[in-house]
Amino acid sequence: MSGLTVEDLPRALRPFAARFGMEAVSDLVERFGGNNILVPKKLEGKYYRQLCDALGCESAGNLCRYLGGKVLYVPSFKKLKTGRRNAALNAERDELAKGGMGERELVCILARRYDLSERQVWRILKQPRTAG
């Protein structure tokens, strides 16, 4: 996921990110998000090949040497992604409204831009906004 930062990560994944970089974490999230993965001890077998496909063999080997034999939960970051999308949608709504556009028209535009139904856009716009 683009834009992912170390601060977005659960504490358990932060040392992994520090050691292997955010690109490796993003690759893990894209391929295994929301799942537990068994990190093999040996650089062979089905699980190792899956890691190679997701991370490349060099990073997969590093991960195996670092966490071999352990089960690693890889979060999906669905709430984070949704929160970021909603914040962007709200910001864009504010800009359109400043330009004098009416609510119904801007909801229609936002629904197309964000590939959402108009009903979902209305729901997002009615949610309380968080500070930040």
The tens digit of pLDDT for each residue in 108-125 reads 999 999 999 999 999 999
Question: For 96-103, what is the mean pLDDT?
Answer: 94
Q: Which two tokens stand for residue 1?
A: 């996921």
pLDDT tier, 100 (very low <50, low <70, confident <90, very high otherwise): very high
User: Phi first, then psi: what are they for 23, rounded to 5°?
Assistant: -65, -40
- Specify the pTM: 0.60
Tens digits of residue pLDDT in 32-85:
888 999 999 999 999 999 999 988 898 899 889 988 999 988 888 888 788 889
* For residue 10, pLDDT beyond 80: no
Q: Residue 14 — pLDDT band, cuts 50, 70, 90? A: confident
pLDDT of residue 121: 97
For CA atoms 27, 29, 35, 36, the dihedral sign is positive
